[in-house]
Each structure stands twice: as structure tokens, then as C-alpha cells.
């Protein structure tokens, strides 16, 4: 068999030099374990393959990590079967290569398809593993990790208008990464996180075994539901509990500039939003705009929401709870729950539901050069602090900057912070997502945008969570700390710096589980859970 496989490798123009011995050995190992030469040729890409670059960039959502200086993998494996993943894991372990696992490519720091260190690695891209099997009678769904949230929502909507799943609004986000980091969206005040509604999973572990909830045990099942992607294995598929929603929900948006009393409204929203009924999800998007009245630059606060009910129910409710906002019927649109997710990503009202299937569509946080950070707010921020924040949006770097406030409360107050690795539950009024993005021609000056982000983040320090200053692991941020990839002796101490910000006291339990299931730290990256030495 071996000479025949070697011909395949040569025919694909994989001209690997003696200095790239691990790559050659990996490909040889993989070709033998695939057992099928034609599938091997179609599913494995190296840097000498003409399709390599397009495959690598196909779902890379932060263009900051697609430049010529970005470290690239020795190979990209796009498995069709679980056995292909098992083969890739086996061969990477055997030949000392690291693995990066990609589902939707939305990792904010690109860690699902690149590395901040110069280490040889292979990307396992789950793009071909994206089936969605909905069981309406049992209100469950099995979804493979390579499916996007949009594909999941579309298949649910095809089967039922009154079932949903409480995940995020970014329809190009991969299910695998989203659920493994927690996954919150417009239903989390009613039903909890996406990870809270996972009832089974199939995982390939470091030994190449396929484990379900029963065979992996409660500890590992706990860890993969919010403990961060890429630390414990590769999740093939998730079994999810679907939740009931009305046939029609109501979406609203009310935008106010500083001249229209936005500062007072933002300040008042803090008192109200987390106390609203669980059926209401509200957020505020802060950004710079030109005033429609005189084209003068100003700051705008867009108050958006989704209500599990009708306009006729929502308007009087908001008149009672938040009359200052002045919501009227004309601000509201009724639609299916699946359609409401498209509105939440600023798609026009009435856009086709098939838009959920467009994996490569540019959205609010994709296909741009950007930097993002996160915070959690536990105490009311004074009005004067907002007034001090707004001038930063007039700076040159803030042309495409935004802050998003997402109200907590509801179900999130009721779930213990140890129920899953995601700990940011009771006591949080809202979360903050900071984003600054820029265009390709400005990327050579990217440091000035990163500096702007740093200034805003530092300004907010007195007003957000402390000891630790918490962060959301799905909004990956290497600024808060990173592992030294080849320094296992100090790995726990280094990882704890960022780990308690993402996971608080759950971090030590995650370390214990990691030590038990992957003591040699095969599944690792710059912010993966380390084992104890």
C-alpha cells in the first residue's frame, strides 16, 4: 500500500522539504489511516495545494488573522466522518503537532485557525459535519458542531414555528464553538444559555474514543458545556433541548442621540432592563453617527428588544416599566422567532429566511478587521461616567466602534454559577461588548485602533466587575492573559490569570477535569485549560 500512497502525495504537489519532516510524516500517517485514497485527496489541504488559501480563509471571520504575517497550519483537514477526525488526532499526537478545531471561525483572536506562537499545527475544520436532525415530538435536535447557528435555526423553523433554541444571533457562528463557551442570545433571560440546554453530546477524546454523556461521565460533560473550545477534545455533535416560543414575537428598535436625551435614557435603562419580565430581551448599541438634523457628529444609543408576545401586549408593558423610552406601535414589528434573529443582526425586516443559511455573509462582527473585549456590570454606572465616555467616540479611531449592553436578570438569576463552567449569573445587571473595527487599507495602522480600545477599556475599570474583572470566554481576548505554549511547569499559574476572569471559581474544577482526561495537554492553545503538572 505504501508506494501507492506516496504517489498520491506527490501527485497533489505536496513537495515537502527535509526540514518539514513532521508535515511529511503526518501526511503519510494520515493517508494510511484514511483507508481511502480519493477521500484523502479531497479532504486534506497543504500549503502547496491551490485551494489551501481559500479553504483557510473561507470561515475566518476576523480578517486581522488572514494577513501574510499570520501563522498558518501545515495542513487543513476537512473530515466527512468521525474516523477522519480520529485519524487526524492520532497522527498529530504521534508526530508532535498541535491541533486547532474550527466550526464557524468566529474565534475573536483567531485561535481556531491560527496561533500566536510559532508552533507546527494542523486545523481540523468541521465544515462538512453540519447535519441538523430535529425531532418536533420530543422537542430535541441533534446538531453537528460544524453547523452554523443559522443552519440550526433554519431547520428548526422548517419543522415548527413554535419551537426555538436559546443560542446567539450571529447566524454565521459555528455551533461547536458557541456552545462550548456558553452561548447566550435573545432567549437567555427566559431559558438560560445554549449550554444550559445541552442534554447530550458526542466527543472524540485524546485517545480517539467517541464518548457520549454516559461514557464521558458527569465531570467531562459539565466541562464541555461552557469550559471553552479546544481544551478537552473535539465535540462531534450536540443533543439540544428545544424550547417553546409564540408563533409571532415582537421586535422593536428606538434610537436616540445625545441631543435627544440618550444619556439619561441609557442611565435609566440600567435600573429597569434586568427587572423586566423574562419574555423581554433588551440591549443598547452605542455608536457614532451623523445627526439627521444638521449632519453634526453625535453619539447614538439604539435600544433594541425582542418580546415573546404581541405588539399589543408589549407597548402597554413598556409604557408601564420604561415610559421614558416612549415605545409606540410604529417602533414594533411582529414576525416568527427565526426571523427575529435576522432583525437582531441588522438585516432588513422581511428578508428571506434562507439568509440564515448564508455562511459567508458579512455581518456586524465578521469579515472585518476588528478587536473586541467584554465586561460585566454589577452596580449602576453613574450618568457622569457615560458623559465622560461619549467624547471617546468622537476620536478618529472610533469611526466604526460600538459598545453593546445586554440586559441580564430573569432565568440567569436562578441558575447557580457552578451549574456549568460559565459563572456570570446572578448579580449581573448587564454585559458589555466593546468592538472597534477598521478597513483593510488601515490595517497597517492597526495599533492605533487597538490603543483606542485599550483607552476605553481602562476608562471603564471603576464601573465594572472587580476581583476578578470578569470576561466572557466566547469573546476571546488575549490581552487578559495567555499560556506560554511550551512552558508546562508554569502553565497553571499563567492560565489562572485569565482563567478566573472567564470562569471564576469554576476554573480549578476545569483544571482538575483536564488533568484527568488529557494529562499530557495535547488539546491546547493560548487560552486552553491546562492540566496540573
Active site residues: 475
Q: Write the secondary structure of 308-334 as one string of H (helix), E (strand) and C (coil).
A: CCCHHHHHHHHHHHCHHHCCCHHHEEE
| CA angle (114 as vertex; 129, 99 as ends), nearest 5 | 55
63, 368 contact by CB (below 8 A): yes
C-alpha cell of residue 191: 431559558
Nearest in space to 204 (alpha carbons), one of 168, 177, 230, 170? 230
Cell 489511516 locates to: 33
367, 396 contact by CB (below 8 A): no
* DSSP states of 39-70: HHHHHEEETTSTTHHHHHHTT--BGGGSSTTS
DSSP structural state of residue 207: T
- What is the separation of C-alpha 166 from the centre of its chain, rounded to a whole number of angstroms? 14
C-alpha cell of residue 357: 443559511
Q: How far apart are CA 25 and CA 90, in angstroms?
A: 12
C-alpha cell of residue 443: 490595517
End-to-end CA distance of the chain: give it in Å, rounded: 41
Neighbours of 20 (CB within 10 A): 17
Q: How far apart are CA 206 and CA 521, in angstroms?
A: 9
* CA atoms within 13 Å, Cβ hemisphere of 481: 20
The answer to whether the Cα torsion of 359, 364, 368, 370 is positive or negative is negative
Amino acid at each position: 500500500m505504501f508506494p501507492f500512497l506516496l504517489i498520491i502525495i506527490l501527485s497533489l504537489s505536496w513537495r515537502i522539504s527535509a526540514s518539514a519532516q513532521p508535515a511529511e510524516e503526518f501526511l503519510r500517517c494520515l493517508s494510511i489511516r484514511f483507508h481511502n485514497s480519493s477521500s484523502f485527496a479531497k479532504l486534506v489541504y497543504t500549503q502547496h495545494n491551490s485551494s489551501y488559501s481559500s479553504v483557510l480563509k473561507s470561515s475566518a471571520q476576523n480578517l486581522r488573522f488572514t494577513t501574510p504575517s499570520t501563522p498558518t497550519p501545515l495542513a487543513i483537514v476537512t473530515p466527512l466522518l468521525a474516523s477522519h477526525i480520529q485519524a487526524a488526532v492520532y497522527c498529530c499526537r504521534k508526530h508532535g503537532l498541535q491541533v486547532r478545531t474550527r466550526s464557524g471561525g468566529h474565534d475573536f483572536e483567531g485561535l481556531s485557525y491560527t496561533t500566536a506562537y510559532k508552533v507546527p499545527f494542523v486545523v481540523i475544520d468541521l465544515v462538512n459535519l453540519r447535519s441538523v436532525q430535529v425531532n418536533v415530538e420530543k422537542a430535541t435536535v441533534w446538531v453537528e458542531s460544524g453547523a452554523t447557528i443559522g443552519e440550526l435555526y433554519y431547520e428548526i423553523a422548517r419543522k415548527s414555528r413554535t419551537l426555538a433554541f436559546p443560542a446567539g444571533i450571529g447566524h454565521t457562528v459555528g455551533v461547536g464553538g458557541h456552545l462550548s463557551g456558553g452561548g447566550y442570545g435573545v432567549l437567555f433571560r427566559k431559558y438560560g444559555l445554549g449550554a444550559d440546554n445541552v442534554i447530550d453530546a458526542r466527543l472524540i477524546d485524546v485517545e480517539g474514543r467517541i464518548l457520549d454523556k454516559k461514557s464521558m461521565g458527569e465531570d467531562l460533560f459539565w466541562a464541555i458545556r461552557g469550559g471553552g473550545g479546544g481544551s478537552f477534545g473535539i465535540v462531534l455533535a450536540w443533543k439540544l433541548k428545544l424550547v417553546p416560543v409564540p408563533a409571532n414575537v415582537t421586535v422593536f428598535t428606538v434610537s436616540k442621540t445625545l441631543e435627544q436625551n440618550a444619556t439619561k435614557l441609557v442611565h435609566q435603562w440600567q435600573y429597569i432592563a434586568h427587572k423586566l419580565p423574562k419574555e423581554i430581551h433588551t440591549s443598547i448599541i452605542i455608536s457614532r453617527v451623523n445627526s439627521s438634523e444638521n449632519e453634526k457628529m453625535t453619539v447614538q444609543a439604539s435600544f433594541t428588544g425582542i418580546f415573546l408576545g404581541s405588539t399589543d401586549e408589549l407597548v402597554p408593558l413598556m409604557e408601564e416599566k420604561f415610559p421614558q423610552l416612549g415605545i409606540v406601535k410604529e417602533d414594533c414589528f411582529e414576525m416568527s422567532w427565526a426571523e427575529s434573529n435576522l432583525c437582531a443582526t441588522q438585516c432588513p425586516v422581511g428578508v428571506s429566511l434562507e439568509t440564515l443559511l448564508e455562511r459567508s455573509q458579512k455581518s456586524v462582527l465578521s469579515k472585518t478587521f476588528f478587536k473586541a473585549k467584554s465586561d460585566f456590570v454589577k452596580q449602576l454606572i453613574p450618568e457622569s461616567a457615560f458623559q465622560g465616555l461619549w467624547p471617546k467616540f468622537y476620536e478618529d479611531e472610533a469611526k466604526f466602534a460600538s459598545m453593546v449592553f445586554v440586559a441580564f436578570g430573569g432565568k440567569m438569576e436562578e441558575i447557580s454559577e457552578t451549574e456549568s463552567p460559565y459563572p456570570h449569573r446572578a448579580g449581573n445587571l448587564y454585559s458589555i461588548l466593546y468592538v472597534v473595527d477598521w478597513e483593510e487599507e488601515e490595517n497597517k495602522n492597526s495599533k492605533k485602533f487597538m490603543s483606542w480600545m485599550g483607552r476605553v477599556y481602562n476608562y471603564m475599570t471603576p464601573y465594572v466587575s472587580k476581583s476578578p474583572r470578569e470576561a466572557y470566554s466566547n469573546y476571546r481576548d488575549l490581552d487578559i492573559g495567555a499560556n506560554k505554549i511550551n512552558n508546562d511547569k508554569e502553565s497553571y499559574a499563567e492560565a489562572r490569570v485569565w482563567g478566573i476572569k472567564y470562569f471564576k471559581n469554576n476554573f480549578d474544577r476545569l483544571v482538575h477535569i483536564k488533568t484527568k482526561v488529557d494529562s499530557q495537554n495535547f488539546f491546547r492553545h493560548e487560552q486552553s485549560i491546562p492540566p496540573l503538572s
